[in-house]
């Protein structure tokens, strides 16, 4: 099949301005839909062997990363804290141009001092354009899987967290893993540990909980910055079907929310864990 980038030298070199966090969410939803439409068409041609019309992508110099007009003023409308995983390229998932989003990527999308420094910098210095902060996890995350394995098999912890650097990642994820284990036991019964899909369900639940809890932590941090007006949400990119969503529900839902509100208390954290576990149970994944 043909995919054509149509370069328009007269297209705007400035990203579309966003006045509110809701504008930004709408913009990101549209971009994600464009990405998924492309995936869908490629899949239909490659897997189902349905002949598809060529895909033409209108591209401005900006969206291709070219800036022949000199350095632009940095003006992202959203900040993402995502995982370093090579399968989760954030600009592509949301079809965002250069200068559209400010991205911090670290394994397991955990908060550390340096990544918080990047976030503080952006919130303090890019406040004229920045309206939204998204913590984006992804399914089958290696860092979360390592934390789950050290929880299920404490005997292996010395190997999993052998270095200080690895330990600092894995240890930060344990709160989400333990919350996930508690919710799965409450929703599915304590015997859920014997289920052959228990480890996979624990990883899935912990991935969503980790993104949500990190969003809460980031929000607490940036609230301390005077004059900060950035809304914080979370989402999870599902590698299996390439959808971003706030809960692991059926991908065919038309009004699916791609981002969710973070839990603002320990009770809300518990409720969200139960909701995620129930969602996996209803989907027959545990
Ligand atoms: Zn990951």
Give the rounded percent of residues in the chain with a pLDDT score beyond 90: 71
> How far apart are the CA of 85 and the centre of ligand 1, in A?
5
Distance from residue 216's CA to the centre of ligand 1 (Å):
19
Q: Are 205 and 273 in contact (CB under 8 A)?
A: yes
Q: Over the Cα atoms of the chain, what is R_g?
A: 20
User: Which domain CATH number covers 81?
Assistant: 3.40.1050.10
Q: How many beta carbons lie within 10 A of that of residue 240, not counting itself?
A: 8
Q: Is residue 165 part of a domain?
A: yes
65 in a domain, yes or no?
no
Instruction: For 62-75, write each residue's pLDDT tens digit.
Output: 666 666 566 678 99
For residue 273, being part of any structural domain is answered with yes
Question: Domain containing 168: what range?
Answer: 70-282
What is the Å distance from ligand 1's center to 128 Cα? 31
Q: Tokens for 202, please give them.
A: 């624990």
Asked if residues 183 and 266 have their Cβ atoms less than 8 Å apart, the reply is: no
User: How much distance in Å is there from the Cα of 230 to the middle of ligand 1?
Assistant: 24
Residues 6+ apart with CB under 8 A from 281: 187, 188
In a domain, 209, yes or no: yes
pTM for the model: 0.92
Does 256 reside within a domain?
Answer: yes
Distance CA 42, CA 208 (A): 28
Rounded to a whole number of angstroms, the distance between the first and last alpha carbons of the chain is 38
Q: How confident is the model at residue 6 (pLDDT cuts 50, 70, 90)?
A: confident
Task: Write the CA distances from 161 to 99, 209, 210, integer angstroms.
Answer: 37, 21, 19
- What pLDDT digit, counting tens, does each position of 226-261 carry? 888 899 999 999 999 999 999 997 555 555 689 999
Residue 50 lies in a domain: no
Asked if pLDDT for residue 163 goes beyond 80, the answer is yes
Instruction: Identify whether the C-beta of residue 131 lies closer than 8 Å to the C-beta of residue 24.
Output: yes
Q: What is the pLDDT of residue 183?
A: 98
Q: What is the DSSP string of 42-72?
A: HHHHHTS----PPEEEEE-TTTTT--TT-PP
Q: What is the pLDDT of residues 54-108, one digit of tens each?
A: 878 777 666 666 665 666 789 999 999 999 999 999 999 999 988 899 999 999 9
Q: Compute the distance between CA of residue 29 and CA of residue 235 in angstroms, rounded to an integer.
A: 12
Q: How far is the CA of 88 from the centre of ligand 1 (A)?
A: 8
Compute the distance from residue 107 Cα to the ligand 1 centre, in Å.
5
Whether residue 3 lies inside any domain: the answer is no
Count of domains for the chain: 1
> CA-to-CA distance for 263 and 219, rounded, in angstroms?
11
Distance 137 CA to ligand 1 centre (A): 7
Write out the DSSP string of 220-280.
HHHHTSTT---EEEEEEEETTTTEEESS---TT-TT--S-BPPP-SHHHHHHHHHHHHHHH
Cα distances from 133 to residues 21, 56, 202, 234, 243, in angstroms, run 9, 31, 26, 8, 19
**Is residue 41 in some structural domain?**
no
């Amino acid at each position: 099949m043909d995919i054509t980038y149509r370069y328009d030298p007269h297209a705007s070199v400035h990203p579309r301005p966003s006045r509110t966090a809701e504008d930004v969410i709408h913009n990101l939803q549209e971009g994600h839909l464009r990405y998924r439409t492309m995936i869908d068409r490629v899949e239909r041609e490659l897997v189902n062997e349905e002949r598809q019309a060529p895909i033409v992508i209108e591209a401005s110099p900006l969206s291709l990363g070219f800036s022949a007009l000199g350095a632009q003023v940095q003006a992202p409308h959203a900040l993402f804290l995502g995982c370093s995983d090579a399968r989760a390229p954030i600009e592509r998932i949301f079809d965002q141009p250069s200068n559209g989003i400010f991205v911090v990527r670290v394994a397991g999308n955990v908060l550390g001092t340096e990544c918080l420094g990047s976030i503080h910098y952006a919130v303090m210095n890019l406040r004229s354009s920045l309206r939204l902060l998204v913590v984006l996890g992804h399914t089958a995350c290696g860092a979360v899987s390592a934390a789950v394995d050290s929880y299920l098999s404490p005997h292996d912890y010395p190997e999993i967290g052998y270095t200080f650097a690895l330990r600092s990642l894995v240890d930060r994820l344990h709160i989400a893993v333990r919350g996930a284990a508690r919710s799965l036991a409450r929703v599915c019964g304590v015997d859920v540990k014997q289920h052959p899909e228990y480890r996979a369900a624990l990883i899935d639940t912990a991935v969503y909980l980790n993104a949500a809890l990190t969003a809460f932590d980031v929000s607490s941090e940036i609230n301390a910055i005077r004059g900060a007006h950035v809304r914080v949400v979370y989402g999870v990119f599902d590698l299996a079907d390439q959808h971003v969503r706030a809960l692991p529900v059926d991908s065919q839902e038309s009004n699916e929310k791609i981002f969710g509100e973070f839990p603002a208390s320990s009770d809300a954290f518990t409720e969200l864990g139960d909701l995620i576990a129930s969602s996996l149970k209803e989907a027959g994944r545990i």
